Amino acid sequence: MNRFAATLLEREREGCLSLSHLRLDNGVELTALSAGLDGVDEAGARLYVAIKAAEVSLARPPLSAISLRNRLPGRVLRLEHGRLLSRIMLDCAGLTLEALITRRGADELALVVGDEVIALVKANELTVLSDVD
pLDDT tens digits for range 82-130 = 999 999 999 999 999 999 999 999 999 999 999 999 999 999 999 999 8
For residue 37, the model assigns a pLDDT of: 58
For the chain, domain boundaries = 2-129
Q: What is the pLDDT of residue 45?
A: 94
Contacts of 38 (CB under 8 A, 6+ apart): none
Q: What is the dihedral of CA 18, 19, 21, 24, to 10 degrees?
A: 80
Yes or no: say if 78 and 103 are a contact pair by the CB < 8 Å rule. no
Taking residues 10-39, what's their average pLDDT?
90
Residue 1 CB: number of other CB atoms within 10 A? 10
Q: What is the CA radius of gyration of the chain?
A: 15
User: What average pLDDT score do residues 58-71 get?
Assistant: 93
Domain at 2-129: CATH architecture? Beta Barrel (2.40)
